[in-house]
């Protein structure tokens, strides 16, 4: 097979991968509601727990498998400045020592004789500056599933939203712990009320690849680059 055919085959493979459907992340998969235990045999009473209906029950999520809508209201900002300066200087002098009553001198040159005395001077200086500013905002909604109920009543939730737009895939993934008291009457809770949250907004495809820096450029801006 010629090199041209190999390049064409690899290009077709990459294009096919970019146009693929969104991929599900098992870490954010939903769970099915737990099966209720079988009701005990009828004992002649009118009440049957298997067919009960709650007339005054609210619609807030509280059981495994229930749905909960999370409003994404994330806003973060941060800045950092760093300045450092290091200076060092050294001056060492040693006169010609006296050994056994006389100062040794040896050799000859046009300017006189050599001796064991010396004068050493050195200095070094380093100065570095750095600054960073970052601001992020994420707004929207995502409906997640209750995957566990903790002994204190708090709900462990997780879920993801997958979209395919113009040959590119977008993913919104979220997980965390919700306190039932923070859920409003419409069965909604803000993302800032989540404990131990994990919020991910990522994508793949041509648009996402175009915004990524290449591996060679990443090497030259990394700390291991010698330049």
Each residue's pLDDT tens digit, 114-156: 666 667 777 877 777 777 777 878 888 999 999 999 999 999 9
Average pLDDT, the chain: 76
185 pLDDT more than 70:
yes
176 pLDDT more than 60:
yes
Q: Where are the domains of the chain?
A: 48-80+135-227, 81-130
Measured at the alpha carbon of residue 165, what is the angle toward residues 162 and 169, in degrees to the nearest 5? 45
Instruction: With cut-offs at 50, 70 and 90, classify the pLDDT of residue 227.
Output: low
Instruction: With cut-offs at 50, 70 and 90, classify the pLDDT of residue 5.
Output: low
- Structure-block tokens of residue 130: 């750095």
Residue identified by tokens 């006296």 is: 98
Residue identified by tokens 């209750």 is: 146
Longest dimension (CA), the chain: 128
Pick from 93-102, 197-206, 208-217 the range whose average pLDDT is largest: 197-206
Q: Are 217 and 195 in contact (CB under 8 A)?
A: no
Q: How far is CA 49 from CA 36, 57, 131, in A?
A: 10, 15, 64
77 pLDDT more than 70:
yes
- How far is residue 60's CA from residue 183's CA, in Å, rounded to a whole number? 7
- How far is residue 19's CA from residue 164's CA, in Å, rounded to a whole number? 9
Provide mean pLDDT across the span 28-42. Answer: 70
Q: Are 179 and 195 in contact (CB under 8 A)?
A: yes
Q: How far is CA 65 from CA 61, 74, 96, 157, 216, in A?
A: 9, 26, 90, 9, 46
pTM for the full predicted model: 0.57
Instruction: With cut-offs at 50, 70 and 90, classify the pLDDT of residue 50.
Output: low
């Amino acid at each position: 097979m010629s090199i041209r055919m190999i390049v064409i085959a690899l290009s077709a493979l990459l294009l096919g991968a970019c146009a693929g459907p969104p991929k599900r992340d098992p870490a954010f998969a939903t769970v099915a509601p737990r099966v209720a235990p079988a009701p005990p045999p009828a004992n002649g009473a009118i009440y049957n727990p298997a067919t009960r209906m709650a007339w005054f029950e609210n619609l807030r999520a509280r059981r495994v498998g229930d749905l909960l809508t999370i409003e994404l209201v994330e806003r973060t900002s941060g800045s950092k400045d760093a300045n450092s300066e290091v200076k060092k200087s050294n001056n060492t002098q040693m006169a010609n020592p006296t050994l056994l009553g006389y100062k040794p001198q040896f050799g000859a040159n046009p300017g006189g004789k050599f001796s064991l005395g010396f004068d050493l001077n050195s200095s070094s200086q380093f100065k570095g500056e750095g600054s960073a500013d970052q601001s992020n905002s994420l707004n929207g909604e995502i409906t997640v599933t209750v995957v566990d109920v903790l002994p204190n009543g708090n709900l462990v939730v997780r879920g993801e939203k997958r979209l395919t737009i113009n040959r590119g895939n977008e993913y919104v993934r979220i997980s965390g712990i919700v306190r039932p008291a923070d859920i409003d009457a419409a069965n909604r809770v803000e993302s800032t009320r989540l404990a131990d949250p994990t919020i991910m907004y990522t994508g793949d495809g041509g648009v996402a690849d175009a915004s990524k820096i290449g591996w060679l450029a990443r090497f030259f801006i990394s700390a291991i680059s010698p330049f």
